Amino acid sequence: MSTPHNKAEKGQIAKTVLMPGDPLRAKFIAETFLENPVLFNDVRGMLGYTGTYQGKQVSVMGSGMGMPSIGIYSHELYAQYGVENIIRIGSAGSYTDKAKLYDVVLATAAYSESSFAKTMSGFEGDTILPSAELNDRLRASAAAQGIPLVEGVIHSSDVFYRHDDRKNPTYWEILRDEKGCVAVEMESFALFHNAAVLGKKAACILTISDSFVSPEITTPEQRQTTFTNMMKIALGAAE
């Protein structure tokens, strides 16, 4: 049952998996929120745990950075471990003053210039939707906990350090104004595509860690341990 990237055995992973990029964030969530967490994977340091939250079995596992990485881990979880729902929980850079530092963003779609989907299955589009059912559960969880959400399209980029071509408007202003992108991250497009291809469900909820319209920025430690509103919302939406 195990794969080259995951040593879990059948039955060790829950139907719903929370997926931060950082495996240390997965460890923090497991140790902070889950009852009786059990480590099911540490291959390549990509930590995965299963425990219970409010009586429900939940797993949390790192995805690594970028679409190729989450593409591998999410595909194996869906196709080989019977996972039905993956909720990506990550950090994002804001493209608008409507999404400020520490705000929680619910992705209503993922736009990307990436060739991931075309290479994987021949999909020619540039925008992929998450599960409407999972998004509704995330909205309900946020409302029940009194945590506001910013909703919008997410830009999933293959590139973190992008060359400044000094054009006016900049690429991100064009993405904001023409595509409706409120923030940028690097994984959701691939996750949503894997879910669509395999008949599974995926969603993405993010915390703003830095901004293109403000000089504010969070530290690596803050990104690892203080984005708890996002974590609580995702845990509350688990089946």
Point out the residues that are catalytic.
Answer: 210
Give dist(CA 28, CA 30) in Å, integer. Answer: 6
Give dist(CA 84, CA 202) in Å, integer. Answer: 8
Instruction: Indicate the length of the chain as a whole number.
Output: 239
* Residue 92: Cβ within 10 Å count: 26
Closest listed residue to residue 186, CA positions, set 109, 76, 91, 85: 91
Give dist(CA 35, CA 71) in Å, integer. Answer: 28
Scanning the chain, the segments in alpha helix (DSSP H) are: 23-33, 67-81, 116-121, 132-144, 171-179, 188-198, 220-225, 228-237
- Which residues are registered as beta bridge partners of 230? none
Q: To which residue do tokens 């679409």 refer? A: 67
Q: Which amino acid appears at position 159 of this protein?
A: V
Contact 147, 117 (CB under 8 A): no
Three-state DSSP class for residue 61: strand
Q: Quick one: which H or E segment has residue 15?
A: none
